[in-house]
């Protein structure tokens, strides 16, 4: 392997680009020169060849030196702030004045500081600059939050954002007592819904779980998506991470329906009812068909707002006024519906954000405003009623996807902080030998810092306001992401680093503000230091049995112990996730045969996987027989034994996949597939109304409840 030129490696280090990484097989992979150059150009380096690297290094260091302060400074509560200041040699350090701006026009706070030491200016282009580490004690009036910081020196001002954050995210001490259930909202079947679960179903399921003793209802992302043209029902490819999905609105419980005769007549018409019957039939959801029905009613209801009570009109106005970016989002969606093409194909004026009334249908814009109001009302009602019930209703555990679609509102609105010529993905592994391209635009590490992480803070706040636990998809992305420049294969991507401490500070601040626990999805190949950072900042881990079984402990030496280690106390334990086979399918090895059918492995690989799976089944059967006293354990017995074992552990939370309890075999999603499999569309085979009659389900949950104490 030809070593990379040293100037290119040094330039990559200046920009936080990794030139090599260890793959899942423990092999060192070195990035190609072509991919490194492509990523460095996306990050702003003027480098199209290796020969230009040395000059690009000088420019990068000069720009950093002229910045004086980093755009963001993190200080953990209880600690002093220590950060680097870079000054021209002629500037006198003793003349520095640090000021904290106080919102509302109050008198700024002068901060006392001490110069600790001068350090080598590794990033400075010459000896014209001096670099010092400055220490500032944070006064009591600077409470945890985001504080604008100003440095005055020789008549010039230099700005930064001070993030003063608790070192650990919100959360009570791990008690090992809580449990809950998982179910995608769209999959919920009930007598009242229109063919897919809705926010009312979500509330009723939360009440049912709470009645069994569960404290948490986990579900997939509930964010708005494109459900007309294009139609993408994936909850992990939303149109925004700021607004909720109107697909889940329970139309028949919208207050305006009682005062809108045209809407009631429409619902009662034979044509509408015929369409509604079609939406309710079959095992898979027709998102476009059902969304069209709901929207036809919601548009009529939105039209009636001028005739509604003063109280309702005031509530609508307050919601619009107090929801940042809502009007712009509704306008974007209305323009998108007229244009019927991605925003980067719009004319320059529209692309740049200059949207005028003539560019869209006013009714479409009003619909999106109204739909967001109703969706927020119905979702937040679940949260409010759960809090008011004093533990009798399970609290929401929401999921934050890693990114948004490239044609999403968030990318259009924040083009300055997204890299639109690259996608995020994953390097090759045993299953996806060519790597994975997830199609999301990455955040620019420098630009998002310069913006003060405003967009990140908004979408985290939005989610934490509506949930009591939030799962961060691919938590490794707080540290680094695998960038795939447009035009290159997923196997030729490059890892780019982010400022993880700044993301953890935001997570901590927002979680305390909203009293929401944070969970990180840390499955798969986890870079060194990620789990340690999660523990340091009280970000809960995931412990998934299907992952934990894939190790050297298969079969184990002690038949009285299951073939996996005990989950840690700071973990959310489960048997599987939405991206994994259901337990019954896993037990039978159906997922292995399916991967072979999709040519994700050859015959030899399939046979080897079946051999390993057989050994695991034997080990689990033997363990169940010994520990539970069952002579010939069935798959259901092993399932109950596993869940009870996890319930008896010190894991902070046990999350039970509700569909596992009635031996569902069809998965919700098969990673790496799109049109090949009906992902995100399957309805549950049991309804909400049937749950209290499913004695096997009740028995397992009672065993879990007893084991959790």
More confident residue, 671 or 208: 208
> Please, is 200 exposed, middle or buried when counting C-beta atoms within 10 Å of its C-beta (0-12, 13-18, 19+)?
buried
Yes or no: say if 468 and 516 are a contact pair by the CB < 8 Å rule.
yes
Question: Which token pair is 80?
Answer: 């002093």
Mean pLDDT estimate for the chain: 92
Check residue 551 and give its pLDDT.
Answer: 47
Q: What is the pLDDT of residue 388?
A: 62
CA distance 330 to 661: 41
Would the pLDDT of 405 be above 50? Answer: yes
Quickly list H helices, 472-517: 500-514
Describe the strand order of the beta sheet including 145-153 as a list of residue ranges. 72-76, 156-165, 145-153, 97-102, 106-111
* Rounded average pLDDT over 308-324: 95
**Whether the predicted pLDDT of 287 surpasses 60:** yes
For the stretch 3-61, pLDDT in tens is 899 999 999 999 999 999 988 788 899 999 999 999 999 999 999 999 999 999 999 99
With vertex at residue 407, the alpha carbon angle to CA 403 and CA 408, rounded to the nearest 5 degrees, is 55
Alpha-carbon span 146 to 143, nearest angstrom: 9
Q: Sign of torsion, CA 573 578 583 586?
A: negative
Question: Which pLDDT does position 457 carry in this prediction?
Answer: 98
Which string of DSSP letters, residue by residue, matches 269-289? Answer: SHHHHHHHHHHHSSSB--HHH
Instruction: Tell me which of 388-392, 566-570, 684-688 is least confident.
Output: 388-392
| Stretch 278-299: mean pLDDT | 96
Q: How far apart are CA 269 and CA 692, in angstroms?
A: 34
Between CA 408 and CA 191 the distance in angstroms is: 34
> What are the distances in angstroms from CA 207 to CA 220, 364, 425, 654?
18, 35, 38, 18
State both tokens at 455.
């967009």
In sequence order, the 6+-apart residues with CB closer than 8 A to the CB of 156 are: none
Average pLDDT value for residue range 403-416: 97
CA angle 364, 367, 370 (to 5 degrees): 155
pLDDT attached to residue 550: 62
Tell which residue, 496, 487, 332, has the closest CA to residue 405: 332
pLDDT tens figures, 499-556: 999 999 999 999 999 999 999 999 988 888 999 999 999 999 999 999 999 644 444 5
- Please determine, for residue 189, whether its predicted confidence score (pLDDT) is greater than 50: yes
The pLDDT tens digits of the residues spanning 350-403 come to 999 999 999 999 999 999 999 999 999 999 887 776 566 555 789 999 999 999
DSSP output for 360-417: S-HHHHHHHHHHHHHHHHHHHHHHHHHHHTTTSSPEEEEEE-S---TTSHHHHHTTTT
CA dihedral 7, 8, 12, 15 (to 10 degrees): 70
Which position has the token pair 């990068």? 60
As given in the structure block, the two tokens for residue 628 are 């539970």
- Chain segment 84-121, per-residue pLDDT in tens: 898 887 777 777 899 998 877 778 899 988 876 777 65
Which pLDDT belongs to residue 410? 98
Q: Check whether 613 has a pLDDT greater than 50.
A: yes
Tell me the whole-structure pTM to 2 decimals. 0.95
SS3 for 607-629 is: HHHHHHHHHHHHHHHHHHHHHHC
Q: Which of 110-124, 424-438, 500-514, 618-632 has the lowest mean pLDDT?
A: 110-124
Handedness of CA 402, 405, 406, 408 (dihedral sign): negative
DSSP alpha helix (H) spans, 166-286: 199-211, 261-268, 270-280
Calculate the alpha carbon distances from 325 to 146, 331, 369 in Å: 20, 10, 11
DSSP per position, 136-153: EPPPTTS-SEEEEEEEEE
Give the span between the Cα atoms of 200 and 379, in whole angstroms: 8
Residue 67 clears pLDDT 50, i.e. is over it? yes
Under a CB-based contact definition with an 8 Å cutoff, are residues 154 and 95 in contact? Answer: yes
Residues 6+ apart with CB under 8 A from 402: 236, 424, 438, 440, 473, 474, 477
């Amino acid at each position: 392997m030809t070593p990379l030129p040293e100037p290119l490696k040094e330039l990559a280090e200046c920009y936080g680009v990794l030139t090599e990484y260890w793959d899942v097989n423990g092999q060192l992979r070195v990035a190609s020169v072509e991919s490194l150059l492509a990523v460095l150009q996306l990050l702003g380096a003027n480098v199209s060849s290796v020969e230009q690297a040395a000059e690009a290094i000088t420019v990068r260091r000069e720009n950093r030196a002229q910045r004086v302060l980093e755009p963001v400074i993190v200080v953990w509560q209880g600690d002093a702030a220590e950060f680097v200041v870079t000054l021209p040699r002629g500037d006198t350090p003793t003349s520095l004045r640090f000021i904290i701006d106080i919102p509302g026009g109050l008198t700024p706070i002068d901060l006392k500081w001490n110069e600790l030491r001068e350090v080598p200016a590794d990033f400075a282009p010459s000896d014209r600059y001096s670099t010092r580490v400055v220490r500032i004690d944070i006064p009591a009036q600077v409470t945890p939050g985001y504080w604008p910081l100003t440095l005055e020196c020789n008549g010039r001002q230099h700005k930064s954002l001070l993030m003063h954050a608790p070192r650990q995210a919100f959360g009570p001490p791990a008690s090992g007592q809580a449990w809950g259930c998982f179910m995608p909202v769209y999959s919920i079947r009930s007598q009242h819904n229109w063919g897919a679960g809705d926010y009312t179903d979500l509330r009723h399921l939360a009440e049912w779980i709470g009645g069994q003793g569960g404290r948490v209802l986990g579900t997939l992302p509930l964010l708005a998506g494109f459900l007309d043209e294009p139609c993408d029902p994936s909850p992990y490819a939303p149109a925004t991470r700021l607004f909720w999905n109107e697909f889940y609105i329970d139309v028949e419980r919208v207050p305006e329906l009682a005062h809108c005769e045209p809407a009631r007549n429409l619902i009662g018409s034979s044509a509408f009812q015929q369409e509604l019957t079609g939406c309710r039939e079959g095992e898979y959801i027709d998102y476009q068909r059902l969304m069209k029905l709901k929207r036809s009613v919601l548009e009529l209801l939105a039209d009636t707002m001028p005739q509604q009570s003063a109280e309702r009109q005031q509530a609508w106005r307050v919601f619009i006024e107090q929801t940042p970016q809502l009007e712009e989002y509704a306008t974007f969606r209305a323009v998108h519906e007229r244009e019927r093409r991605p925003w980067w194909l719009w004319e320059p004026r529209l692309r740049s954000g200059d949207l005028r009334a003539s560019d869209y249908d006013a009714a479409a814009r009003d619909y999106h405003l109204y739909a967001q109001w109703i969706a927020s009302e119905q979702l937040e009602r679940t949260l409010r009623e759960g809090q008011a019930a004093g533990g009798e209703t399970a609290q929401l555990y929401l999921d934050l996807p890693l990114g948004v679609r490239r044609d999403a509102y968030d990318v259009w609105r924040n083009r300055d902080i997204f890299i639109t010529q690259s996608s995020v993905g994953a390097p090759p592994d045993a299953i996806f030998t060519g790597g994975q391209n997830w199609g999301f635009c990455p955040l620019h590490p420098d630009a998002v810092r310069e913006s003060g992480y405003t967009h990140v803070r908004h979408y985290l706040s939005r989610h934490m306001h509506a949930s009591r636990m939030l799962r961060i998809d691919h938590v490794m992305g707080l540290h680094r992401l695998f960038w795939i420049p447009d035009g290159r294969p997923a196997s030729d991507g490059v890892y780019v680093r982010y400022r993880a401490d700044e993301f953890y500070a935001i997570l901590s601040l927002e979680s305390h503000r909203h009293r929401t626990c944070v969970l990180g999805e840390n499955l798969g190949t986890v870079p060194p230091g990620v789990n340690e950072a999660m523990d340091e900042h009280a970000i809960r881990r995931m412990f998934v049995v299907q992952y934990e079984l894939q190790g050297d402990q298969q079969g184990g030496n002690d038949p009285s112990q299951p073939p996996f280690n005990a989950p840690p106390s700071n973990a959310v334990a489960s048997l599987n996730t939405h991206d994994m086979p259901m337990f019954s399918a896993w037990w039978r090895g159906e997922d292995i045969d399916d991967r072979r059918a999709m040519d994700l492995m050859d015959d030899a690989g399939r046979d080897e996987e079946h051999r390993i799976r057989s050994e695991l089944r034997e080990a689990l059967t033997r363990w169940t027989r010994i520990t539970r006293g069952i002579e010939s354990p069935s798959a259901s017995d092993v399932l109950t034994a596993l869940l009870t074992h996890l319930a008896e552990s010190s894991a902070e939370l046990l999350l039970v996949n509700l569909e596992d309890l009635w031996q569902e075999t069809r998965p919700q999603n098969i990673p790496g597939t799109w049109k090949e499999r009906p992902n995100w569309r399957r309805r549950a085979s049991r309804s909400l109304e049937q749950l209290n009659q499913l004695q096997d389900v009740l028995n397992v949950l009672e065993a879990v409840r007893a084991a959790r104490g």
